[in-house]
């Protein structure tokens, strides 16, 4: 299993798989097969895939621990960047066809419609994460600060779910499903954070005694 996870070809294969939703939408666009409301189809397709990739990214750490497969970490950055890629497309389908690239109009809409405000906030939160996703930035910020910053992916996912919940008119099953997934992942994370904190006092007590003795 480890050989498979660390193979360069697995990474290439996952990269190609992550592009399939984009290729599908592009193909439907080129062949004029986007249905009666092409803009809506693009908006919904890219929005759905943004949320899915956020969930995939958040699944990596629990899966690494539960399945004892630390090498899964190799795919986290790529999945996160794909979430960002799809949200950029999603945003462009809004800014272009919806707002005709009128930034002033866009700001008014962001301020006026709560579900747009929330979606936009989630998008803004993801920008620094995409920028600082490189190893150079991890080094520059330091592991702890980098980790703290990257925890905002949870906020982005929660806001993404609220955005989805607010925009659907009647059938809320899908946003509720994503909401449940994000809640489970968040609770798992909080659980492991609390259990780590519980085991910390012993580290704090032993640390000074080491330095005094030393
Ligand atoms: C992390 C950020 C975001 C996520 C996860 C997200 C997710 C989604 C999802 C899941 C949908 C519905 C898809 C469906 O019905 O199948 C959607 C629709 C939509 N989103 Fe987003 N979105 C995000 C950011 C944004 C931003 C930044 C904007 C614009 C400023 C935006 C504007 C829209 C619009 C206009 C729709 C269609 C609404 C409608 O059909 O009435 N979203 N989004």
Mutate which of 87, 90, 159, 161 for ligand 1 pocket (most atoms within 8 A of beta carbon) = 90
Q: Is the CB of 109 under 6 A from ligand 1?
A: no
Question: For residue range 111-164, what is the model confidence (pLDDT) as tens digits?
Answer: 999 999 999 999 999 999 999 999 999 999 999 999 999 999 999 999 999 999
Question: For residue range 94-117, what is the model confidence (pLDDT) as tens digits?
Answer: 999 999 999 999 999 999 999 999
Q: Which residue's CA is the nearest one to ligand 1's atom 38?
A: 167
Question: For residue range 59-70, what is the model confidence (pLDDT) as tens digits?
Answer: 999 999 999 999
Q: Which residue's CA is the nearest one to ligand 1's atom 41?
A: 167
Please check the confidence at residue 182 and state whether its pLDDT lies above 80: yes
Please check the confidence at residue 198 and state whether its pLDDT lies above 90: no
SS3 per residue for the chain: CHHHHHCHHHHHHHHHHHHHHHHHHHHHHHCCCCCCCHHHHHHHHHHHHHHHHHHHHHHHHHHHHHCCCHHHHHHHHHHHHHHHHHHHHHHHHHHHHHCCCCHHHHHHHHHHCHHHHHHHHHHHHHHHHHHCCCHHHHHHHCHHHHHHHHCHHHHHHHHHHHHHHHHCCCCCHHHHHHHHHHHHHHHHHHHHHHHHHHCHHHHHHHHHHHHHHC
Average pLDDT, stretch 23-36? 97
């Amino acid at each position: 299993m480890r050989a498979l996870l660390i193979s360069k070809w697995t990474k290439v294969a996952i990269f190609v798989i992550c592009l399939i939703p984009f290729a599908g939408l592009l193909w439907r666009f080129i062949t004029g097969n986007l249905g009666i409301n092409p803009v809506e189809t693009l908006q919904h397709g890219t929005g759905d895939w943004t949320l899915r990739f956020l969930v995939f990214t958040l699944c990596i750490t629990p899966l690494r621990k539960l399945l004892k497969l630390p090498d899964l970490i190799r795919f986290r950055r790529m999945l996160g960047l794909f979430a960002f890629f799809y949200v950029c497309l999603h945003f462009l389908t809004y800014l272009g066809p919806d707002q005709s690239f009128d930034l002033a109009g866009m700001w008014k809409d962001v301020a006026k419609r709560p579900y747009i405000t929330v979606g936009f906030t989630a998008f803004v939160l993801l920008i620094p994460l995409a920028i600082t996703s490189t190893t150079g930035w991890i080094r520059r910020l330091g592991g702890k600060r980098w980790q703290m910053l990257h925890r905002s992916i949870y906020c982005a996912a929660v806001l993404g779910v609220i955005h989805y919940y607010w925009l659907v008119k009647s059938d809320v099953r899908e946003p509720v499903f994503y909401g449940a997934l994000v809640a489970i992942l968040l609770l798992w994370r909080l659980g492991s954070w609390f259990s780590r904190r519980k085991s910390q006092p012993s580290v704090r007590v032993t640390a000074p005694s080491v330095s005094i003795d030393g």
